[in-house]
Every structure is written in C-alpha cells, then in structure tokens.
Amino acid sequence: MQQGRGDFQSIRLRHTSVVSRMLVALHWLGENDIRGALVVFPDMLQPDQFRRLLVCLKITEIG
C-alpha cells in the first residue's frame, strides 16, 4: 500500500475481504496492527486493470 507521496507500507489482506465482479472490498492489517479498508468499484479503474486486480486477488486465495 502506498501512502502520501511515495511511502510504502507492507500490509496483509484479511479473510474478510470480498472479491466480486461488482466490487472489491479490501480489509487489511498493516504495521503496528493498523487496520484499514478500501472499496474499489469497476468504474474506478480501466476495465483491464479491474480484471487484473480480480485475477490477482483470486489467485492469492482472497477471492
């Protein structure tokens, strides 16, 4: 995950994340037990980018 102007933080996706063709809801746990969430709808990305996101999440057992 990238924060601000280029600082990256390692995160671990939680099993409560949801992956579907309608939306992706990511729940994560970061450094120092910081929790976060992000919802991505298909129209927020280019169609190919959203498809690649779905594929990546599905092969990592989140989807």
Per-residue pLDDT reduced to its tens digit, 42-55: 999 999 999 999 99
Residue 24 bridge partners (DSSP) = 19, 40
Length of the chain: 63
- Each residue of 7-37: pLDDT tens digit? 777 889 999 999 999 999 999 999 888 999 9
Q: How many CB atoms lie within 10 A of CB 50?
A: 18
Q: Give the residue extent of every domain in the chain.
A: 2-59
- Cα angle for residues 11, 9, 15 (degrees, 5° grid): 10
pTM: predicted TM-score of the whole model, two decimal places: 0.78
Does residue 4 carry a pLDDT above 70?
no
Reported confidence tier of residue 3, pLDDT bands at 50, 70, 90: low
